[in-house]
Amino acid sequence: MATKKKETPGSLEYKGKPLLRRGNLIYYGNPDDKYIIMMTVQETTEIIDLNVATSVLVQLQTNDIPGKERVLKKAERDGLYSALDLAEFWLDEAVSS
């Protein structure tokens, strides 16, 4: 029998993986897995009273090692969509290896 995932009201997902935002930081992936993505919104621009990310730093991190050594890959992308696209690729690649 399949078990259902607990969904909390207002929780966000992208391609089946959880998204959590804390200020300018966006975490992508399951925190219980070995790898997670951390995205830092570095610059925003206002478009019709809405702040839109224009520069995002994407980092693939491991949950096994504390400190700065946990960053495995790092890149900067223009816009949140391209950052999420790269994050999905890196996370799938890391989890499958």
When the pLDDT of each residue in the chain is averaged and rounded to a whole number, the result is 86
Using a 10 angstrom Cβ sphere, with 0-12 exposed, 13-18 middle and 19 or more buried, the burial of residue 88 is middle
What's the CA gap between 55 and 29, in Å, rounded?
20
**Amino acid identity of 76?**
E
What CA–CA distances, in Å, run from 51 to 10, 19, 66, 80? 20, 18, 32, 12
Q: Is residue 5 over pLDDT 70?
A: no
Mean pLDDT for 78-84 is 93
What is this structure's pTM?
Answer: 0.82
pLDDT at 51: 87
pLDDT at 1: 46
Q: What share of the chain is helix, strand, coil (3-state, %, to 5)?
A: 20, 45, 30
What pLDDT, in 10s, does the model give residues 8-37?
666 788 888 899 999 999 999 988 889 999
Domain boundaries, the chain: 14-96
